[in-house]
Structure 1
Amino acid sequence: MIRDFSAFMPGGTPARREPTALERLGWGPTFASQIDTDALTATPPVRVVAVHRSGLQVAGDGIDETIPPGPDATVGDWLLLNRARPRSSRVLERKSLIKRRAPGTGREVQLIAANIDTVFVVTSCNQDFNVARLERYVAMAFEAGIEPVILLTKADLAEDPAPYVEEAQKVSERVPVVALDARGEEPAKALASWCKSGRTIVFLGSSGVGKSTLTNALLGTQDIATQGIRNDDARGRHTTTRRELHATTGGCLVLDTPGMRELQLTDAATGIADVFEDIEALAARCRFADCRHETEPGCAILAAIEDDSLDPERLARWRKLQAEEAFNSASLAERREKDRAFGKLVRSAMKAKSDRKR
């Protein structure tokens, strides 16, 4: 069947109407501008709504199926579906990408989600609260070019949530902080300005902080399983086992994710600088351009520590993230170089073998 995709092409200014199937999945000019009408008809656009071990679950206009693994894609990506060779489906250029260094001893990069508009960094008003972890998540969001919001759940269970809010606000002046009860109608009201039709949001955080509960609240259902936390240490239990997009009745796409026990940053120098822009501004005022901020005279950072305008613990976290990011990025660059060299060796061997057969 030939479908009319003209409404999605650049320059189109359709009158007010009901959103199409693609628009309900988050389609817009960012993606339409990358292709022409012929390509849209021959290879219909689909969005990756879930990633399974068996492949990618994709949805589009009249399409809802699982294709084999192959495209280097993650949940939230838009593909041009190649019906004849689905493994060769083209991934459209992303407007945002959340990634981390994969857990374990390997040096691979794990793609978390693509084409996200708002990242809600979720933590609880209890023992789970950790400023250093919040800084990591916010740095990852900044690096991806995504608007971050810090959500403090279980505010109804805390004796006084104000101290948690105050600490969270110190992460960055650019990041809003919202404290709420993840259940009932409160999330839909408190997050309404971010959860608009056509937008895609994601909840990120540890297990047990209320990500699935928040998703259920926005969807108005109890379809997504939830579990409580352990009483002894407030740590959560894994409930969500895969990243999957869900559509609200208002047209917002919500990505529920498994909890992350390890978040190693890589290729995130700009995001870290954005989170710690107060320290970066101080560093720019040091007498020496190569100041290590240890014992050098004229160090603006040491002066700020001395007059109590900079928290030494915040400085220590900045140093730690910088060192981690530099190591991970260098390791990744080294791996990429080795992969290129190996690929070149394989191509050379294949060419030599072909020449011998002639």
Structure 2
Amino acid sequence: MSSPVYSLHQLGWRASYAQHLALDDFESAYPARVMAVHRSGLAVHSSRGQAHVVVPQRVVDALEVSIAVGDWVLVEDANERVARLVERQSLIERIGAGTDGHRQSIAANVDTLFVVSSCNEDFNPSRLERYLALAHQAGVEPVVVLTKADLCSQAGAYVAQAHGVARGAAVVAVDATRPEGLGALARWLAEGSTVAFVGSSGVGKSTLTNALVGNQARLTSAIRDDDARGRHTTTGREMFLTCTGAWVIDTPGMRELRVGAAVEGVQSAFDDVQSLALACRFRDCSHGGEAGCAVRAALDEGRLEQRRWVSYQKLQREVTEASRTARERHENNRQFGCMARSAMRAKRERQGR
């Protein structure tokens, strides 16, 4: 059975992608979208159909962040090989586990990020704030999706809490097990658009994906009633076509979410705290009790929740540390480059004698 063929528009191609390409690029290569990333290469779709392509080491070395599901690449006409990465419109990323602070791509060229939580013990406002910061940093519209609403007698209370955290972003409560219950998501699922689901394990991301795709072959694990936590249901990132013609990226549940140097993202996610800080009497206010501190006044009067203030401070420390680590890594790379060039010059001089 032949693989389906989609037009570039159906795959999510935008005219803005071509602005960063030259005529020569299209003479020797064609654009294709990354559906999945494997150790042996990439599964891609293009107007020519489906293919598996390899990524040369020179392309890998030129990338600051690895190729992600949702990326567009140029594939060489003569070989099933990536010629280059097309400049991204957006990239959802986090800092990977460990101490080296490396950036880890989650999904690329996403129009809407569905931040999924559930109306039970999994609901965590501070975790939502982290996901919202990632979306704002990437310039992607965030939408908070609350699952298990049909199993909760106080779903309205969870929706109200989410509105308080999301501050202007849409919040929708859904029953992921019923296709008719997903109508609230329809406005973000136009043909050619790309959405991604992120959230903890067991909150219903894969169930939502299955319902939108109309394919139940991707099995999900039921949530454990005793602790309201789920098992990992997705082990890798993949991109699927929904019944409406939109593309959806399902992601594994994340045990740890570090936002890295997401300065603008954190500021946008906490715009209320930022506004209060700017209203302090002194520009260098530490918000620890100085006279005229607008943040402290808001905390004392209950206009700013103590939990939200603590969450903001924690993320600010994380951003500061990640920025410092990035600068140090850049300086180390620069010094290594200088040493390597000096060694090459010395070698050429010795050979020229």
TM-score higher than 0.5 here? yes
Which whole-Å CA distance do the structure 1 matches of 2:330 and 2:9 have between them? 37
1:340 equivalent to 2:334? Answer yes
Over 3 Å counting, the alpha-carbon distance change for 1:195 and 1:314 in structure 2 is same
Return 228-237 or 266-275, whichever deviates more. Answer: 228-237
Structure 1 position 329 matched with structure 2 position 323: yes
Mapping of residues 154-169 of structure 1, within 5 Å = 154-169=148-163
Aligned partner of 2:128 in structure 1 is 134
Partners of 2:222 and 2:333 in 1: CA distance: 44
1:301 aligns with 2:287: no
RMSD (Å) for aligned C-alpha atoms: 1.8
The answer to whether the Cα contact below 8 Å between 1:46 and 1:63 also exists between their aligned partners in 2 is no
Distance 2:52 2:327 in 1: 33
Residue 90, structure 1, aligned to residue 84, structure 2: yes
In the TM superposition, what is the alpha-carbon distance from 1:159 to its structure 2 partner? Answer: 2.1
Task: Show the counterpart of 2:52.
Answer: 66
Partner of 2:194: 200
Residue deviations 1:245-272, cap 9 Å, x none?
1012321010011111111011211111
Q: 1:34 aligns with which of 20, 37, 40?
A: 20
Q: How many residues align?
A: 340
TM superposition shift of 1:231: 2.6
CA displacement 1:174-207 (0-9 Å, x = unmatched) = 2111011112213541111001111000000011
Amino acid at match of 2:221: Q
- Scaled by the length of structure 1, what TM-score is found? 0.90
- Counterpart among 134, 143, 147 of residue 149 in structure 1: 143
Does the residue aligned with 1:354 lie in a helix, a strand or coil?
helix
- 8 Å CA contact 2:144–2:166 kept in 1: the answer is no
- For residue 255 of structure 1, the aligned residue among 242, 249, 255 is 249
Alpha-carbon distance in structure 1 between the residues aligned to 2:349 and 2:45: 46
Closer, same or farther in 2 for the Cα pair 1:343/1:229, shift >3 Å? Answer: farther
> Offset of 1:106 from its aligned partner?
2.1
1:120–1:150 Cα contact (<8 Å) kept: yes
On the 8 A contact 2:134/2:259 being kept in 1, the answer is yes
Distance in 2 of aligned mates of 1:47 and 1:31: 12
1:187–1:218: 8 Å Cα contact kept in structure 2? no
Structure 2 counterpart of 1:113, one-letter code: A
TM-fit CA distance, 1:332? 2.0
Q: Which residue matches 1:237? A: 231
SS at match of 1:178: strand
The list of structure 1 runs, each at least 4 consecutive aligned residues, that deviate by more than 4 angstroms after superposition, is: 83-88
Identity percentage over the alignment?
Answer: 48
- Residues 105 and 86 from structure 1, CA distance in 2 versus in 1: closer, same or farther, beyond 3 angstroms? farther
Q: Secondary structure at the match of 1:249?
A: coil
1:209 to 184, 203, 206: 203
Q: In structure 2, how many angstroms separate the alpha carbons of the residues matched to 1:66 and 1:352?
A: 44
Counterpart CA distance in 2 for 1:43 and 1:347 is 34
- In structure 2, what residue type is equivalent to 1:132? S
**Residues 152, 179 of structure 1: 8 Å contact kept:** yes
Unpaired runs of at least 5, structure 2 = none
* CA distance in 2 between partners of 1:249 and 1:161 (Å): 28
Q: Which runs of 5+ in 1 are unaligned?
A: 1-18
Deviations 1:149-182 (A, max 9, x none): 0000011111221111111111132211101111
CA distance in 1, matches of 2:306, 2:297: 11
CA distance in 2, matches of 1:239, 1:46: 28
Deviation at 1:89, TM superposition (A): 1.9
Give the counterpart letter for 1:308 in structure 2. G
1:44 aligned to which of 30, 40, 45: 30
Structure with the higher fraction of residues in helix conformation = 2
Q: Which amino acid aligns with 1:126?
A: N
Question: The residue matched to 1:110 in structure 2 has which SS?
Answer: strand
**C-alpha distance in 1 between matches for 2:289 and 2:248:** 48
Which amino acid is 1:77 matched to? D
Deviation at 1:88, TM superposition (A): 5.7
Normalised to the residue count of structure 2, the TM-score between the two structures is 0.91
Q: Which residue of 300, 308, 320 maps to 1:314?
A: 308
Give the partner amino acid of 1:271. G
